[in-house]
Amino acid sequence: MAASASAADGRNPGAQQAGYEPDPRRWRALWVTLVAGFMSLLDVTIVAVALPTIQRDLHASPAQVQWVVSGYALAFALALVTAGRLGDALDRRRIFLLALGGFVVCSAACGAAPGITLLVVSRLAQGLAAGFMAPQNSALIQQMFRGAERGRAFGFFGATVGVSSAAGPVTGGVILALASGAQGWRWIFYVNVPIGILAVLLGRRLLPRTRRSGRGHVDLPGVLLLGLGVLAVMYPLVQADSGGIGRVWWLFLAGAAVLAVFVRRQRRLVARGAEPLLDPRLFTTVRGYAVGAGVGTLYFIGFSGVWLVFALFYQHGLGFSPLRSGLAVTPFALGSAGASVVAGRLVDRFGRLLTVCGLTGVIVGLGGTALLLGLAPLGFAPWVAAPVLFLGGVGSGCVVSPNITMTLRDVPVRMAGAAGGALQTGQRLGAAVGTAALPGFFYLVLGRSHDYRGALVTALGAALVGMVASLALATADWRRDRRLRPAHRKCPDEVANSPVHARQT
């Protein structure tokens, strides 16, 4: 096993494939990583339904309680690329287990927090732990699987990403319904503790060990530049509800300038033969990575924000409880879960066409949902919208899972952590834009007309703009694939063994 892990992390692509021996425990190990990933992504949205209760019990201001959600998302995004690079340079298994243990401890601290300040600090630490854990998930898939099995594994991973985002509101509603009492919100955090402890114990037993590749240098100035750039871009977004965009809009420009310096530094390191934090060749020479990252970022702009909009419409507009509000969007989560697993097996056959069809399904599903919720009698609106919402979920399952597979499958294993971290950073940035912009459109219309239907239709229409842009990019890539079809019929392992790929990586 050590020999195969060493070959998988080596510099020679031919040896990487020739020395690969399937680990008989790989599928059980995959489920450990997926459970941990599900917890970390679920915590992005699960807390939203409990914010009113938290604010009341801890006597917090609206700005303070907003940091319970936005602080987690910000720390999560800041850690991703650096954590992925550390996993590549050191030991993915060790970093994953340490981060998972930290996530469990921070979850317990969140549940036990006596005041809002300690809760926010614990959430920041929890988000940081989640950010260190997340890129190891995709990197471990790259390490443990090859060929068609990798597509299936990424199918499960994509299902986890899609379903965890959609299931947050209903899961939070169920926990609040079961944990009655003024302090019931604490169980939203406590539920992570037993699951996380079990995952740590199983991970120690099942996850493969890896040897250091001898490329242990980490670009610390690059870490600082990337962190400052991402922080500057995301901070106004996570503070959008309290007027952050209007007050500190200039941080967008500062962040863009810092990120430009970061990119220039990474190119200079590559030119000198040094090891960058994020290799620019991922975007220029690895087939499908740049397009996949763009498709994912644009899609998450619309995908992530719609759940807050639905919660506002159902809870404030129709008077639904958190549980009932979550159940109203369950058809989307069910469709996404089923389609993600199936799509992971079809991506090698249909490629980017699967993403194009999926995006079309999401656009039709959410557009139809907006139309029906805008016209149907309010008492029957959730039932009437359920079938088209399910269609949107099926489409989403054909977007997230295949796009992750096509973005990462040709990435060399030695760069898998940084590549996965960069991909998820783009998704987190897209999610931050969506969760700031879509509720903003909702409240803008509501403030002018007090029309909840009109506010919902406007916000969903804004979400569709991002999805249409994602569809345009995916369609252009699909057409390019058709023109170059003979060359792209090679399986990912054949591409990894080719001399061209060897020179590129």
Report how far apart, in Å, the C-alpha atoms of 102 and of each of 70, 80, 209, 407 are. 19, 15, 20, 29
Tell whether 380 and 469 lie within a shared domain.
yes
Confidence of residue 109 (pLDDT cuts 50, 70, 90): very high
| pLDDT of amino acid 102 | 95
How far is the C-alpha of 175 from the C-alpha of 312, rounded, in Å? 19
Confidence of residue 212 (pLDDT cuts 50, 70, 90): low
Report how far apart, in Å, the C-alpha atoms of 231 and of each of 76, 252, 271, 277 are. 11, 10, 27, 17
Alpha helices (H) along 208-351:
220-238, 244-247, 250-271, 281-284, 289-311, 322-328, 330-350
Tell whether 91 and 128 lie within a shared domain.
yes
Mean pLDDT of 316-333: 82
Displacement of CA 234 from its chain's centroid (Å): 15
Tell whether 228 and 209 lie within a shared domain.
no
Q: Could you give the 3-state DSSP secondary structure of residue 389?
A: helix
Confidence of residue 243 (pLDDT cuts 50, 70, 90): low
Tell whether 232 and 313 lie within a shared domain.
no
Q: Which amino acid is at 371?
A: L
Tell whether 230 and 342 lie within a shared domain.
no
Report how far apart, in Å, the C-alpha atoms of 61 and of each of 66, 117, 143 are. 9, 11, 46
| Percent with pLDDT over 90 in the chain | 22
Tell whether 129 and 260 lie within a shared domain.
no
Give the range of the structural domain holding residue 374, as residue numbers without chain letter: 2-218+277-504
Tell whether 182 and 208 lie within a shared domain.
yes
Tell whether 261 and 299 lie within a shared domain.
no
pTM for this prediction: 0.77
Tell whether 262 and 156 lie within a shared domain.
no
pLDDT digits (tens, 9 = 90+) for 474-495: 999 898 878 776 544 444 444 4
How far is the C-alpha of 223 from the C-alpha of 221, rounded, in Å? 5
Q: What share of the chain is helix, strand, coil (3-state, %, to 5)?
A: 85, 0, 15
Mean pLDDT of 130-137: 89
Among 229, 246, 276, residue at a domain's last position: 276
pLDDT digits (tens, 9 = 90+) for 138-177: 888 888 887 778 778 877 887 787 677 667 777 887 888 8
| pLDDT of amino acid 4 | 40
- Identify the residue with better confidence: 15 or 237: 237
**CA geometry: angle 317, 397, 126, nearest 5 deg:** 70
Joined tokens for residue 265: 């530094």
Residue 229 has pLDDT above 60, yes or no: yes
**CA geometry: angle 169, 444, 42, nearest 5 deg:** 15
How far is the C-alpha of 300 from the C-alpha of 467, rounded, in Å? 8
Displacement of CA 238 from its chain's centroid (Å): 16
Tell whether 247 and 315 lie within a shared domain.
no
Domain count, the chain: 2
| pLDDT of amino acid 411 | 82
Tell whether 232 and 308 lie within a shared domain.
no
Tell whether 48 and 16 lie within a shared domain.
yes
